[in-house]
Homo-oligomer: A and B are copies of this chain.
Amino acid sequence: MVLNKAGREIPQPYAEQHGIYEGELAHITTYKEASRTIKPVKPGETKLLADIREAIERTGLTDGMTISFHHHFREGDFVMNMVLAEIAAMGIKDISIAPSSIANVHEPLIEHIKNGVVTQITSSGLRDKVGAAISSRIMDKPVIIRSHGGRARAIAAGDIHIDVAFLGAPSSDAYGNANGTKGKATCGSLGYAMIDAKYADQVVIITDTLVPYPNAPASISQTDVDFVVEVESIGDPAGIAKGATRFTKNPKELLIAENAAKVITASPYYKEGFSFQTGTGGSSLAVTRFIKEKMLADGIKAGFVLGGITNAMVDLLKEGLTEKIIDVQDFDHPSAVSLGENDAHCEIDANMYASPLSKGAVVNQLDTAVLSALEVDTDFNVNVITGSDGVLRGASGGHSDTSMACKMSLVIAPLIRGRIPTFVDRVNTVVTPGDSVDVVVTEIGIAINPKRTDLLEHFKHIDVPQYTIAELKDKAYQIVGTPEPIAYGEHVVALIEYRDGSLIDVVYNV
């Protein structure tokens, strides 16, 4: 075991393979960018194939290769299941998959793992049944959990080398120019897929809306695409927007949101041209609404909003309250539509969004970000990947990227959820180190990271109750009692990479 700088013990072999977390910027050094093998496409050659099977055959996909997918269709994705079913039917085994994330809809993956079709996974997250199956140890090799910026980094640095990317595209022409703003299953930004398209040796575009050449503007360019396949349907629009945009009426969530908005608008960063990211979920959407009210009252306009875009952000743009929307992913249909229609609503890839190894990601320019948490501990470490039972069920997302890089990160969470404390002595799993968290916001008040002496001073008189992080934990324990320790097994089922590629934690089987 090797102890890392987040206070976590990393088993020796994994520590040697990946390195261990040694601080936010310890591993950020000059490097040679990875590159791909390109098979030029000559005049007269066609890229349009009959079906997914022909695409798999033409790419020469064989046992042991790495394939990738994007998660822009979220719970509405048909692509990963279709492709893996075909791969399984063809008898191909020992495949590594590197989707940008995995959703509940990908439950068939469990069988592919059990049958030896899929033997390695890297992903931002693992939901419900797939997460539970992984936690119960159906795979020999641990899943590697990477943040969105960390995945872009891993691809650029060559830690992930994608042999074939199978990328669902709401619209494409027969030469591979693809975007997410037109078609039957519009998902808006293709920000995560754009990275795969740039670095994969081979790229297969799978679309249900084939349009005349040239499909321009394109998020993915013909110069990155080898083959195009038209299928009946690539995704379910209802699933793409699932659960993202509910406006909360929950009083606790509203209190959290109000407190977060107070912190942001009382901060030194709140001024003409400021920037923020709020994400999805009831409280987050409400934060945007509360900030908006204050901006209107103060006559202040944002320079840009970033994300993970929802309708709430689109409204800011429409009402002239932000100059730009910078968009790596859309969570609802209005956002996807806005991206296609508004020049000030701009698509970026995951590298530009959040990679710590890029020549400067947008998160580096971000003033403040609002991030959720499953658990927060007294060192401000945040867990967004495992439940209170220790089972994999969340996603790393942009959490560690944004919280590290922005000027003031807010982690919002209720004190308790049901009978479970959110604030604990020690999180089950560290995804974001406490060093990256500036202010924790709950329904009863806030805790400022003592390292941010500037914020402690600045917020002396803010109209929100202030606690130490230990006091928040004590209050949670007073209500629901001290949680029982989890009875983990002895097998590592997931490696949690920090955004720089080093290991910040591991997850054992339950």
CB–CB B39/A303 < 8 A: no
A332 at the interface (CB under 8 A from B): no
**Cα distance, A323 to B216, chains bound together (Å):** 10
Residue among A40, A44, A216 having the largest count of chain B Cβ atoms under 10 Å: A40
**Cα distance, A21 to B351, chains bound together (Å):** 39
A34 to B, closest residue via Cβ = B35
A330 at the interface (CB under 8 A from B): no
Known contacts A35-B32, A35-B33, A365-B175: A40-B214 contact under CB 8 Å: no
A222 at the interface (CB under 8 A from B): yes
Within 8 A of B (CB), among A198-227: 203, 212-214, 216-218, 221-226
CB–CB B214/A324 < 8 A: yes
Segment of A72-80, A255-263, A355-363 engaged in the interface with chain B: A355-363
A364 to B, closest residue via Cβ = B43
A42 at the interface (CB under 8 A from B): yes
Known contacts A223-B351, A324-B214, A352-B221: A357-B40 contact under CB 8 Å: yes
CB–CB A359/B323 < 8 A: no
Residue among A33, A351, A405 having the largest count of chain B Cβ atoms under 10 Å: A33
CB–CB B326/A360 < 8 A: no
**Cα distance, A450 to B326, chains bound together (Å):** 54
CB–CB B35/A30 < 8 A: no
Known contacts A223-B351, A351-B223: A324-B216 contact under CB 8 Å: yes
**Cα distance, A34 to B47, chains bound together (Å):** 24
**A41 CB contact (under 8 Å) in B29, B304, B326, B359:** B359
Within 8 A of B (CB), among A1-41: 25, 28-41
A340 to B, closest residue via Cβ = B343
A142 at the interface (CB under 8 A from B): no
A45 at the interface (CB under 8 A from B): yes
CB–CB A360/B33 < 8 A: no
A216 to B, closest residue via Cβ = B346
List B contacts of A326 (CB < 8 A): 214, 216
A273 at the interface (CB under 8 A from B): yes
Copies of the chain in the assembly: 2
Min distance, Cβ A173 to any Cβ of chain B, angstroms: 9
List B contacts of A225 (CB < 8 A): 359-360
CB–CB A25/B42 < 8 A: yes
CB–CB A175/B216 < 8 A: no
A176 at the interface (CB under 8 A from B): yes
Min distance, Cβ A41 to any Cβ of chain B, angstroms: 4
A404 at the interface (CB under 8 A from B): yes
- Main SS class of interface, A: loop
A366 to B, closest residue via Cβ = B43
List B contacts of A28 (CB < 8 A): 40, 42
List B contacts of A40 (CB < 8 A): 28-31, 356-360
**Cα distance, A223 to B356, chains bound together (Å):** 11
Min distance, Cβ A374 to any Cβ of chain B, angstroms: 25
Give A35-71 as 1s and 0s: 1 = Cβ < 8 Å from B's Cβ atoms: 1111111111101000000000000000000000000
**Residue total for A at the interface (Cβ-Cβ under 8 A):** 62
Known contacts A30-B38, A38-B31, A365-B175: A303-B213 contact under CB 8 Å: yes
Min distance, Cβ A18 to any Cβ of chain B, angstroms: 18
List B contacts of A217 (CB < 8 A): 343, 346
Known contacts A214-B324, A358-B223: A38-B33 contact under CB 8 Å: yes
CB–CB B361/A223 < 8 A: yes
CB–CB A404/B43 < 8 A: yes
List B contacts of A213 (CB < 8 A): 303-304, 365
List B contacts of A30 (CB < 8 A): 37-40
A46 to B, closest residue via Cβ = B360
Within 8 A of B (CB), among A76-110: none
List B contacts of A214 (CB < 8 A): 303-304, 324, 326, 346, 362, 365
**Cα distance, A28 to B213, chains bound together (Å):** 24
List B contacts of A406 (CB < 8 A): 43
Task: Beyond the given A38-B357, A45-B364, A175-B360, please list 19 additional residue pairs across the A-B interface where CB-CB is below 8 A.
Answer: A28-B42, A30-B39, A33-B36, A38-B156, A38-B359, A39-B359, A40-B360, A41-B358, A41-B360, A44-B364, A203-B359, A214-B324, A214-B362, A216-B326, A217-B346, A218-B346, A222-B362, A223-B352, A343-B343
**Which residues on A are within 8 Å of B, measured CB to CB?**
25, 28-45, 47, 156, 175-176, 203, 212-214, 216-218, 221-226, 273, 303-304, 323-324, 326, 343-344, 346, 348, 351-352, 355-365, 404-406
